[in-house]
Amino acid sequence: MQISDLLKQKSRSVATVRPEETVAAVIAELARHDIGALVVSETGSDVAGIVSERDVVRRLHRFGQAVLEEPVRTIMSAEVRTCAPGDSVDSLAETMTEHRIRHVPVVADGVLVGIVSIGDVVKSRIDELQRDRDQLVQYISGR
């Protein structure tokens, strides 16, 4: 299965935030969309970074509530691993596990076209296992 197959099963919209927005604004957007990460983007189609709930919590713990008024660029991860629509879900799962990341932006021809979470990858794996199980049951029962 390819990343493009995952994207067909979910919304293509990607929640983004501009680098100069405050950390407080990030928290509000995460809550509003009920998601765990935002792509940091100047235009909505580029990837300047990524910011997650984990980034926020760790900075709050280290620096206190003053961090809420800081721009998101001060807490975002600027080194972002991305994938392409043609990449395999299996290779993405390996990357996510190896680098301990939970959200990966999908980029095609330099343009942000989606985002995949570890939950999307797990759901894909479960669906694949269910299909395999169903095929084995059909084969064994002779249907």
Q: What is the pLDDT of residues 91-122, one digit of tens each?
A: 999 999 999 999 999 999 999 999 999 999 99
**Phi/psi-derived region of residue 100, left when phi > 0, alpha when psi is between -120 and 50, beta in every other case:** left
| Structural domain total, the chain | 1
CATH number for the domain that contains residue 85: 3.10.580.10
The mean-pLDDT minimum among 12-16, 44-48, 75-79, 112-116 falls in: 12-16
Range of the domain at 120: 3-141
DSSP 111-142: EEEEEEEHHHHHHHHHHHHHHHHHHHHHHHHT
- Write the pLDDT tens digit of every residue in 25-57: 999 999 999 999 999 999 999 999 999 999 999
Place of tokens 């935002």: 38
